[in-house]
Amino acid sequence: MSDAQSYLRATSAEYSRWCGAMEVHRRLLSLNPEYAENRALIENAAFTYEATEQVSARQSIVDIPVVVHVVHNTPEQNVGDAQIHSQIAVLNQDFRASNPDVGKVPATWQDLVADARIQFHLARTDPLGRPTDGITRTQTSSPDWDTDDLVKFSLSGGHDAWPADVYLNLWVCRLRRGLLGYAQFPGGAASTDGVVVTYTAFGTTGTATAPFDGGRTAVHEIGHWLNLRHIWGDDDEGCSGSDFVSDTPNQGGPNLGSPSFPHVTCNNGPDGDMFMNYMDYTDDAAMFMFTKGQAARMDAALDHARMPLTRQAVAV
């Protein structure tokens, strides 16, 4: 058994997914009044987009430049180029609804499957205009990282973000036990903007380890970066939460593993939970769709909070 497999086995007896995006969100709300103000404006725009059903308003494709910051304590954590390219390939399939498993969406929801018209490429120029492969590599003395954003700063042994109005910053490192990834919602500081994924749940080759070896952790976290919430509304296992998307059924908490359809909670029968949605907590092989309502929220983010990045995308 490899170090990566041993690490993942130790993280959870049930190999369950856990995301720290809401932990970061709540911390920023409590500490940063400007973030809270920004979030209110961003949510107003998102509500407007979905309420007016601007799901198909944007026909053009947004191509987002990505820089992958590999922060490694051991040689195994220094994931290879092929693993990084495999993750970009998954992003480009999943955000365009061209993933091979999209046909597994139950018939009742097939009309809701969305092509978000977003694609990704590794950056071709760095912040100084020099050619780059879109990958940085930093050796660190830190054995693992938490949701405190220290991996995003060279002074704490990580790597500084590239300008967030030009690049999607994606850090790959060893996260603390049980944590697969986290993201910063739109509206936060540029210095910490981006997505963090643990090295055992990144891409589809190398250290990627089942059941999180399909590249879907980064898909989930980039969903947060584009202002998507967890599909159950983050109210623990109650039925009062909301992801602010009208075409995703209300459900009683996250789904783990690979559920069987239908799985009914919160009186949402007969179809039950949309557990195959990328914003649930199921295994990589069990999630394979965004909805049109979610695509509308992503459009709102790209047209407002993320607009500077989309304007720069062609050049880098």
pLDDT digits (tens, 9 = 90+) for 245-302: 999 999 999 999 999 999 999 999 999 999 999 999 999 999 999 999 999 999 999 9
Q: What percent of the chain has pLDDT over 70?
A: 92
- Cα separation, 194 vs 65, in Å, equals 12
Q: How far is CA 104 from CA 86, 97, 233, 259, 289, in A?
A: 22, 12, 24, 13, 9
Q: Name the pLDDT band for 51 (thresholds 50, 70, 90).
A: confident
- Cα separation, 275 vs 135, in Å, equals 33
Q: Name the pLDDT band for 314 (thresholds 50, 70, 90).
A: low
Q: Rounded mean pLDDT of 86-107?
A: 98
Residue 15, pLDDT > 80, answer no
Tell me which of 14, 37, 43, 221 is the catalytic residue: 221
Q: Name the pLDDT band for 7 (thresholds 50, 70, 90).
A: very low
Cα 82 to the chain's mean position, in Å?
20
Give 180 or 12, the one with higher predicted confidence.
Answer: 180
Secondary structure tally for the chain: helices H, strands E: 7, 6
221 is catalytic: yes
Pick the most confident of 13-17, 46-50, 78-82: 78-82
- Cα separation, 267 vs 87, in Å, equals 37
CB 273 within 8 A of CB 280: yes
Q: Is 162 helix (H, G, I), strand (E, B) or coil?
A: coil
Q: Mean pLDDT over all residues of the chain?
A: 92
Which tokens is 152 given? 């995003």
